[in-house]
Amino acid sequence: MKKGEYWRDRFKYGFVTKQSADWAWIQHMLASAKEKVAVVIDTGAVSRGGREKSIRQQIVEEDLIDAVILLPEKLFYNTGAPAVIIVFNKNKSEDRKGKILLINASKEFVPGKKQNTLSEENIRKIVDAYREFRDIEKFAKVITKEEAREADYNLSPSRFVSIAEEEEYRSIEEIKSELKRLEEERRRVEERVDKILGRI
C-alpha cells in the first residue's frame, strides 16, 4: 500500500454521504478490530438506504454481523430516541455462520422521570439471549443472510421481532350472550331500585 493510501483498507466498502458518518466509523472500527467489536449507534444505521445500504449489504454478505440489539428509548442524556448495538465478529463459530441474531429489547427497561435505565435483570436477559443465539418469542430471532437479502438488508430488529400484544377477538355468539346477560342483570337492578324507592 502506498504511503497516504491507508484509507483504501479503512473504507473498502465505500464512502458515506455528508448526512451520516455512521458507517464510516463502523468501517474504521472493523479495520482495527482483531475479532469482535460492538458499537452503540442510531437505529437508522441498520435501515437507511443509499450508500449506507450498499456498505451494510457488503458487510452482511461478508458475514461480519453477529447481532443487532434494539435498545429502549430515553436511555441516553443527549437524546430520547432509541439506539441499537451492532455486534461484529470476524471469527464466527460454525453455528453462527451465515446468520444474524436480532434482539428487540425495546421494552426491557426501568422507567424514570427523565430517563429510562436498564436493570440487572434487563441486562441479563439481553446477554443470555445473545449467548443462546436462538429464537425467543417476542424478543429474539435468528435470520439467515438470505432473509437479510429478502428484507433489502434492513436489519431493524422490530422488523423481524414484533412485541405488539395480539388482540383478542370474540365470536358474535359470545358477544350476544354477554349482552343478554348484562341486560338481565340491568333489569334485576332496576327492579330492586324500584322496590327501594317504593319504601321511601
Residue with cell 452482511: 60
Q: How far is CA 63 from CA 80, 96, 98, 121, 189, in A?
A: 31, 9, 6, 30, 69
pLDDT tens-digit series, residues 60-73:
999 999 999 999 99
In the prediction, which pLDDT does 175 show? 79
Pick the more confident residue, 2 or 34: 34
Overall average pLDDT of the 100-106 stretch: 97
Note the pLDDT of residue 92. 97
CATH number corresponding to 7-160:
3.40.50.150
Please tell me the predicted confidence (pLDDT) of residue 188. 76
Gap between the Cα atoms of 50 and 152, Å rounded: 11
Mean pLDDT in residue range 19-32: 90
Answer yes or no: are the C-beta atoms of 72 and 116 closer than 8 Å: yes
Q: What is the mean pLDDT of the chain?
A: 89
> Residue 110 gets which letter from DSSP?
B
pLDDT band at 57 (very low <50, low <70, confident <90, very high): very high
pLDDT at 71: 96
- Tell me the per-residue pLDDT of 126-183, one tens digit each, with 9 for 90 and over: 999 999 999 999 999 999 999 999 999 999 999 999 886 554 566 788 778 878 887 8
Q: Please choose, from the candidates 92, 128, 91, the residue with its C-alpha nearest in 3D space to the C-alpha of residue 108.
A: 128
- All cell numbers assigned to 33: 478490530
- Angle 22-32/50-61 helices, nearest 10 degrees? 30
pLDDT, residue 170, reads 67
2: confidence class by pLDDT, cuts 50, 70, 90: low
Among residues 153, 157, 158, 162, the alpha carbon closest in space to that of 48 is found at: 153
CA distance 78 to 112: 15
Domain boundaries, the chain: 7-160, 169-200
pTM across the whole model: 0.78
Residue with cell 458487510: 59
Question: Is 88:30 a contact under the CB 8 Å cutoff?
Answer: yes
Contact (CB, 8 A) for 52 and 58: no
